[in-house]
């Protein structure tokens, strides 16, 4: 099943149909109930649209309701569609049931990320999973993400700013918090560890998830 089919099924949506036969330019599926390709001003995303000639009913439903799917984060499985807020990402992501799923996260609340959802299908939560963050596909291992998240949380608990964690350059007063909590040697070690993560998409994701 494609992403749009799974979504319609999970939400009990029966999409409208039309009468064009062809290949869907969004999901690549063959259809005899397709609509004419039409993209409004919001679709500056030609790069992600393949060269199909029609839009299938399920993808047409999403195109028609695009605002709903770009202004929220959601988890999708064959029988569940669940939207959630930023503060709940950690709860969702570290408690995923072990079954096939898609996960969409956003930092912009406006990009049409759903257009790439077919590329982030997961069979299981084990091993490497794919998450879509706006247009970016992030591949990670949940255990690894949790370790990075816990490390960040320990630093956030010491009130070290996200800006410093993002850049790897600690303000003196932030470094002092580390030194007071541990000792100079350990503080330097932690700073080096933070620096080694800078620019890593999993670090950025864990930082986004963290409070
Ligand atoms: Zn389609």
Per-residue pLDDT at 44: 54
Per-residue pLDDT at 48: 66
* Residue after which a domain boundary falls, among 18, 49, 66: 66
Separation of CA 9 and ligand 1 centre (Å):
14
Per-residue pLDDT at 46: 58
Per-residue pLDDT at 62: 94
The answer to whether position 111 is within a domain reads: no
Separation of CA 41 and ligand 1 centre (Å):
20
The answer to whether position 113 is within a domain reads: no
Separation of CA 26 and ligand 1 centre (Å):
5
The answer to whether position 110 is within a domain reads: no
The answer to whether position 91 is within a domain reads: no
Identify the domain containing residue 47 by its residue range. 3-66
The answer to whether position 62 is within a domain reads: yes
Per-residue pLDDT at 169: 95
Tell the burial category of 16 from Cβ atoms under 10 Å away from its Cβ (0-12, 13-18, 19+).
exposed
The answer to whether position 192 is within a domain reads: yes
* Residue after which a domain boundary falls, among 66, 92, 115: 66
Segments of the chain scoring below 70 in pLDDT? 39-50
Per-residue pLDDT at 29: 94
* Residue after which a domain boundary falls, among 51, 66, 81: 66
Number of folded domains that form the chain? 2
Separation of CA 128 and ligand 1 centre (Å):
26
Separation of CA 25 and ligand 1 centre (Å):
7
The answer to whether position 132 is within a domain reads: no
Separation of CA 168 and ligand 1 centre (Å):
43
């Amino acid at each position: 099943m494609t992403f749009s089919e799974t979504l319609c099924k999970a939400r009990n949506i029966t999409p409208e149909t039309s009468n064009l036969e062809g290949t869907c330019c969004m999901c690549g599926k063959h259809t005899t109930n397709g609509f004419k390709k039409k993209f409004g001003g919001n679709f500056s995303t030609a790069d992600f649209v393949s060269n199909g000639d029609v839009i299938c009913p399920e993808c047409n439903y999403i195109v028609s309701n695009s605002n709903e799917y770009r202004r929220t984060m959601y988890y999708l499985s064959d029988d569940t569609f669940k939207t959630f807020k930023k503060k709940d990402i950690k709860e969702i992501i570290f408690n995923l049931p072990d079954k096939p799923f898609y996960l969409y996260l956003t930092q912009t609340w406006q990009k049409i990320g759903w257009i790439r959802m077919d590329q982030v299908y997961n069979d299981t939560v084990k091993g490497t999973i794919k998450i879509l963050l706006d247009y970016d596909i992030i591949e990670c291992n949940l255990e690894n993400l949790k370790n990075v998240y816990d490390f960040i949380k320990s630093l956030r608990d010491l009130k070290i700013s996200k800006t410093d964690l993002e850049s790897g350059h600690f303000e003196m007063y932030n470094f002092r918090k580390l030194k007071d909590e541990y000792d100079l040697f350990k503080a330097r070690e932690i700073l080096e560890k933070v620096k080694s993560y800078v620019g890593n998409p999993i670090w950025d994701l864990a930082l986004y998830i963290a409070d």
